[in-house]
Amino acid sequence: MSYFQEERPKSRVGIWILMLLLVIAVGFGSAFITWQIVGSQNTVNEPPSAAELPNNNQPQSSLTQQGAPDLGNAEPPDLEEQATLITSIANKVGPAVVGITNFSSARDLFRGEQEIEQSAGSGVIISNDGYIITNDHVISGANRLMVSLADGRQVEADVIGTDPRSDLAVIKVAESNLTVAQFGDSDQLQVGELAVAIGNPGGNDFARSVTVGYLSGLNRQITTAEGQRLSLIQTDAAINPGNSGGALLNSKGQLIGINTIKIASSYFEGMGFAIPCNTARDIADSLIKNGKVIRPALGVSLLRDITPSLARYNNLVVDYGVMVMPAAGSPADRAGMMDNDIVIAVDDKKIESGSQLQDEIFSRRVGEEVNVTVVRKDENVVLTVILGELGD
């Protein structure tokens, strides 16, 4: 017989017993390890005792110092207090904001000449004897103006003076003891300040609507639909058709701007603009006193701004300034200015664009003597100009 036939196979029961013992041992080992881990985690997650809490008087850890900036102990704004402030402003200044309806004439084929409502806007009372400042485009082309006062009265108004260049106008109603808006100082404004707009968006049905926002920007150079370039205050307080000529106010309820335009586009939101109150006050004073705005003038046409690329292409010796052409007999012409001279300075103040030149001249007085530096070919020429009066 063979060797293999004489040996007995091992029992299967023994094998299963060994496997069972191995599983039990592994189970106990896993349980022990898990207990150790859980115990360790419980120790980490226990809340610290009072003695272990950080001392706020001690320097912060380096992690805190490298994280978010420390805002100090400033408390968040109290919304209830702000709402009370807005209510106070609305009650104080709201009666100084009026509605203005512009009536013009139109010829009907069957009924002949008819008076129609051409447009509606807003205005701000600036004196208790009835002077009102508004936008020129609100009253432009009017045959008759009707003013809606806060007490519900409808009164006619006379035009005192208009200034299309600044888009401002002054009208007057024959009333007295009116609520007057107090002027602030637009030269002291800062981006981020509270801005409250009051006006009549959509006409008298929504008279003296109040919207709230902030000052988004200052000295924004905007060209109006009429082609006038204005330096304006930007705000995100809602300004809608009918708000034109209304008030933009600060947190003290002071008039800081006359609302004038907004960017109406699906690509923009909250882009409203106002004429600074310092500009509006000066224009209004001139219109009341003279019936027009008296501005100084060089008497030149602005041909183009000089840019670095334009200078390189034309081999110019200067890469900034504004190329001008003097009108015959104008102050600039009498001082010796020539066609295609490039103005680069007024009284040593650098001039880089036509709008800057205009602003600088408008800041002077009629009859004032200024030194204008121009580049002519390859040399600088200083001309002494006695400013004249800007014509219409």
Instruction: Report, as residue numbers or ranges, the catalytic residues.
Output: 137, 167, 244
Torsion angle defined by CA atoms of residues 22, 23, 27 and 33, in that order, rounded to the nearest 10 degrees: 50
Contact 104, 65 (CB under 8 A): no
Q: Which two tokens stand for residue 168?
A: 């401002």
Select from 240, 283, 351 the least CA-distant residue to 131.
Answer: 283
| Measured CA distances, 329 to 62, 322, 334, 337, 341 (Å) | 73, 21, 6, 11, 16
Unique residue bearing structure tokens 């260049």: 165
For 121, 175, 231, 254, 303, the CA distances from 287, given in Å and listed in that order, are 20, 19, 20, 22, 30
- Determine phi and psi for 3, rounding to 5 degrees: -60, -40
In the structure encoding, which two tokens stand for residue 314, read together? 């034309």
